[in-house]
Structure 1
Amino acid sequence: MPATRTMITGGAGFIGSHLARRLLELGHEVLVVDNFYSGVRANVRDLLSHPRFELIRHDVTFPLYVEIDEIYHLACPASPIYYQRDPVQTTKTSVHGSINALGLAKRTHARILLASTSEVYGDPTVHPQREEYWGNVNPIGIRSCYDEGKRCAETLFFDYRRQHGLDIKVARIFNTYGPTMRPDDGRVVSNFIVQALRDEPITIYGAGEQTRSFCYVDDLVDALVRLMAMPADFSGPVNLGNPAEFTILELANLVLELTGSSAPLEHRDLPQDDPVRRRPDISLAEAALGWRPTTELREGLRETIDYFRDLAAASAPFDPERPG
């Protein structure tokens, strides 16, 4: 029986590169498509010699004509620094990119999964967030290129299902962390670890009382694979994240403890539209996928800190083209 031919858009990114490895382990043929705007070539360089791996440099806002069995549609910068740098392109990636990915799935009769985001809930007025909640999103704020782009992508996926009978899956991904995060991506986990390892002030926005839930990347990849394998009558959306809730201040203190850093805390003003609380209700994922994350934050942070230590020792400025 031939191997499943799987395409991952954004496959050279943080989550995509971990997913590519998992799928290769499962026997898939893997085609990674990435334009390297926020993805890192080095994340998949060691896979280039694998007989079932292929890499194409391509921008998903343009159509791609390949033969494929299933598509993980992850393409879109997910950190505020990157998606706010070119907000128009961010929206185009979510909207035009989804139209092109869905068109390819329609032509090839492929199953397709959208990596959506907890940002579709905005600054939630319901806690924890369940899939039935429609969200509280500012449609004209500095984050809306990402938030509304992903909301529109979800609309497109469900309209393609209703209109064309596509087998779709929609995952709403909450904060995820782990090795191969970019040190310059501006996300709170990578920020705190890099600052702590350099003994630089740990930048905390506001009083640090806002909360997040942090899911280790291996757990998330397991959930994505399980979701893709669900029958056609299950589309989601489904929350994927760790329901353990931490304040940003608790995270900062844990990173300081695990790194042994004596860096001071530096408080700054809260960014516009920054969510106050964020925690997934994963009841649906538990019931439908049989999935619950197993990696404790302390354990996952140790692995992530070790990665950043090795990265700093290998090459002092961050080099996206470094050997894999």
Structure 2
Amino acid sequence: MSVVKTRSKRILVAGGAGFLGSHLCERLVSEGHEVLCVDNYFTGRRANVDRMHNHARFELMRHDVTFPLYVEVDEIYNLACPASPVHYQFDPVQTTKTSVHGAINMLGLAKRLRAKILQASTSEVYGDPTVHPQKESYWGNVNPVGFRACYDEGKRCAETLFFDYYRQHQLRIKVMRIFNTYGPRMHPNDGRVVSNFIVQALRNEPITIYGDGSQTRSFCYVDDLIDGMIRLMNSDDDMTGPVNIGNPNEFTIKELAEQVIALTGSRSELVYRELPQDDPTQRQPDISLARKGLGWEPTIELEEGLTKTIDYFDHLLKSDDYR
């Protein structure tokens, strides 16, 4: 399938002050679009979008997507939801509401405007997979009553809503499943493995590994992820997804820790803790569909991406802005 060329549009990014959202806003503004960034700042930060604050094509609005929003836009990217276990387990009921009510409100807005809408879903819909690597056709292995269910099942329900709006209302939808993404502007206290390891290494603190470190992840640098997201939004209408967007190169958690130590020159030692409930033992995307349908695949290897991310955190931890 071909990727459609874009004209200048007015685009809503829900969750636009977050890690991924801020990179998306910046990319869209650079491509000549008007961007309305909406965020309630639960995990997003104004500092992430400060560099665009006075840009003529950028607008920032404080709003919670669990409440309806009435604006005029051509496209909607729905990224609004805390994405790390530390944050989404802090208020699990609100996390579910953000995924479900937020999806309903964004879909309702898209229906009224006849706007195209993209849902930032997650590899967590696969749960602790029994199929490896994970294809979009795999239905997953999710614990619906566990500690992670507020996020996993919330995102699964959001996907259901998107496809029901597609079938019932002929809404133009895009659903992408994001695999572990990292890069500058990650929150230093979000509990995700890359940010955890880098912060601990830069402080020469023990690096905490949950389990024995043999569980695997596939890490995608943020620039690659944003490129895939925009390609999906700009693809033909019959390319609805879901589409896996991630880096298929697989690493163990211990390998990641050792690479972070080497790149930072840290004196940190590895310490091991009990693996949390329902933590997936393996995660690797099959990106055949993205390659064929979007002409997309990641280009930034882990060492290059980690080096850029380490540089970001090194400056952040030394700055007056760090809290």
Pick the TM interval, shorter chain: over 0.9
1:207 matched residue in structure 2: 212
Q: Does 1:115 align with 2:120?
A: yes
2:62 corresponds to: 57
1:57-79 Cα deviation digits (max 9, x unpaired)? 00000000000100000000000
Describe the superposition over 1:244-267 as per-residue Cα deviations: whole angstroms up to 9, x where unpaired: 000000000000000000111010
* Structure 2 equivalent of residue 235 of structure 1: 240
Query: 1:179 aligns to what?
Result: 184
Partner-residue secondary structure (3-state), 2:76:
strand
Indicate the residue corresponding to 1:78 in structure 2.
83
What is the rounded CA distance, in whole Å, between the counterparts of 1:132 and 1:178 in structure 2?
A: 29
Task: Name structure 2 gaps, 5 residues minimum.
Answer: 1-5
1:143 to 140, 148, 163: 148
Partner Cα separation in structure 2 for residue 265 and residue 215 of structure 1: 23
- TM-score w.r.t. the length of structure 2 is 0.97
SS in structure 2 opposite 1:33? strand
1:261-289 superposed Cα distances (whole Å, 9 cap, x missing partner)? 01110100000000000000000000000
1:46 aligns to what SS in structure 2?
Answer: helix
- The superposition leaves residues 127-186 of structure 1 with CA deviations (integer Å, 9 ceiling, x where unpaired) of 000000000000000000000000000000000000000000000000000000010000
SS in 2 for 1:166: coil
Q: Give the equivalent residue in structure 2 for 1:322.
A: none
Residue 298 of structure 1 is matched in structure 2 by 303
Q: Which amino acid aligns with 2:311?
A: D
* CA shift for structure 1 position 111: 0.2
Moved over 6 A (4+): none
Asked whether 1:318 is paired with 2:322, we answer: yes
Shift of 1:318: 2.5
CA distance in 2, matches of 1:3, 1:259: 42
Asked whether 1:216 is paired with 2:221, we answer: yes
Partner Cα separation in structure 1 for residue 187 and residue 113 of structure 2: 34
**For 1:31 and 1:55, how far apart are their aligned partners in 2?**
6
Query: Partners in 2 of 1:166 and 1:67 — Cα distance?
Result: 16
Give the structure 1 partner of residue 313 of structure 2: 308
| Separation in structure 2 between the aligned mates of residue 176 and residue 262 of structure 1, nearest angstrom | 26
The residue identity in structure 2 corresponding to 1:193 is I
Residue of structure 1 in register with 2:274 after alignment: 269
Number of matched pairs = 318
1:254 & 1:85 partners in 2: Cα distance? 30
Task: Return the alpha-carbon distance in structure 1 between the equivalents of residues 151 and 187 of structure 2.
Answer: 19
Displacement of 1:3 after TM fit? 2.9
RMSD of aligned alpha carbons: 1.0
Aligned mate of 2:159, from 140, 151, 154: 154
Equivalent residue for 2:19? 14
Indicate which of 190, 193, 197 corresponds to 1:188: 193
Provide the rounded CA distance (Å) in 2 between the counterparts of 1:289 and 1:299.
Answer: 24
Unaligned 5+ segments in structure 1 are 320-324
Q: Equivalents in 2 of 1:296, 1:185: separation in Å?
A: 23
Aligned equivalent of 1:281? 286
1:36 partner amino acid? Y
Q: Give the alignment partner of residue 129 of structure 2, picking from 115, 124, 130.
A: 124
Aligned-partner SS, 1:191: helix
Q: Could you tell me which amino acid in structure 2 is paired with residue 280 of structure 1?
A: P
CA apart distance, 1:2: 7.8
Q: Deviations over 1:105-133 (max 9, x none)?
A: 00011000000000000000000000000
